[in-house]
Structure 1
Amino acid sequence: MLRGPATINLWADDMEAAKKWYADLLDVEPYFEAPGDGQPAAYYEFRIGDHLSELGLIDRRYAPSEAAATPGGAVVHWHVDDVRATLDRLLAMGATPYMPITERGPGFVTASVVDPFGNVLGIMYNEHYLEMLDR
């Protein structure tokens, strides 16, 4: 039924700053941009990772009125080859700690940060992810 994430969306008040921050982090520019009613872009979309997953940045003015203004809810973890190095880079780029590096079991380590725009960004190393790629 659920075949995998199609697009993961993050909110930002400053779209140009968010675009630059994520382009620097991901080392790729967004491939799609939606105009913002005479204002800066309302949406930027990146294709990233082993499956070219979509990561979308949406101007917070389009968020539902019930959307939380503080980090919380679900945490999407992106697989990385080195959790410590990635965490250090995220913190150096201005992210703040959310959950520290945590060993979850053999071959499974997670951590998460809050990006400068208030979104939780999870990172993980999971040997089962790598096994799936080998298939």
Structure 2
Amino acid sequence: MTNTPQLRGMANVSFWAEDVKAAREWYTELLGMEPYFERPTPENPAYLEFRIGDSQDELGIIDKKYAPKAASLSGAGGAILYWHVDDVPGMLKKLKELGATEYDPLTERGVDWLTASVTDPFGNIIGLIHSPHYKEMWDAVQKAMA
């Protein structure tokens, strides 16, 4: 193993919520699963994690009181992490039905490319993308593992 500085992949995306219990309920409904990790307790969570997607990426929900002091958490903003989905319009509809608000509308970015984003009820931005590059990469990974 080398010690070459490099970004090797997303390890965790952290979302903030003033009401972690409410966020747990909302994300459990959205994802169709309970968090696999909660601290300090499920009755009084300050942090919880879900493993989601093809690569079992980590989504952490953290009590806003632990946010970095320099973070501006007064409204939606910052970097947008786009999650690949096969059906962007369908996922956008589901998110809105669960109470998310449109941040960036459904936009065609080219042949077989779609993006959209919403703000969850806790002020976090969820990006959606259908990317042929993601599908090509995932198919190649699956073929190499077979």
**Range into which the TM-score falls when normalised by the shorter chain:** over 0.9
Q: Point out where structure 2 has 5 or more consecutive residues left out of the alignment.
A: 1-5, 141-146
Shift of 1:73: 1.1
- Equivalent residue, structure 2, for 1:105: 110
Residues in 1 aligned to 2:70 and 2:44: alpha-carbon distance in whole angstroms: 24
Q: Does 2:72 correspond to 1:65? A: no
- Residue 60 of structure 2, aligned match among 52, 56, 61: 56
Residues in 2 aligned to 1:124 and 1:21: alpha-carbon distance in whole angstroms: 21
Residues in 2 aligned to 1:66 and 1:131: alpha-carbon distance in whole angstroms: 38
Shift of 1:64: 1.9
- Equivalent residue, structure 2, for 1:78: 83
Q: Does 2:131 correspond to 1:131? A: no
Residues in 2 aligned to 1:65 and 1:53: alpha-carbon distance in whole angstroms: 26
Q: Point out where structure 1 has 5 or more consecutive residues left out of the alignment.
A: none
**Bigger radius of gyration:** 2
- Residue 17 of structure 1, aligned match among 6, 18, 22: 22
Residues in 1 aligned to 2:9 and 2:105: alpha-carbon distance in whole angstroms: 26
Cα deviation digits, residues 19-68 of structure 1 (max 9, x gap): 011011011111111117xx821100000000000000000011123211
Identity of aligned residues (%): 53
Residues in 2 aligned to 1:46 and 1:125: alpha-carbon distance in whole angstroms: 22
Residues in 2 aligned to 1:26 and 1:118: alpha-carbon distance in whole angstroms: 18
Total equivalences in the alignment: 133
Matched position secondary structure for 1:121: strand
Residues in 1 aligned to 2:53 and 2:29: alpha-carbon distance in whole angstroms: 15
Residues in 1 aligned to 2:47 and 2:54: alpha-carbon distance in whole angstroms: 23
Residues in 1 aligned to 2:10 and 2:44: alpha-carbon distance in whole angstroms: 27
- Equivalent residue, structure 1, for 2:144: none
Residues in 2 aligned to 1:28 and 1:125: alpha-carbon distance in whole angstroms: 23
- Equivalent residue, structure 2, for 1:29: 34
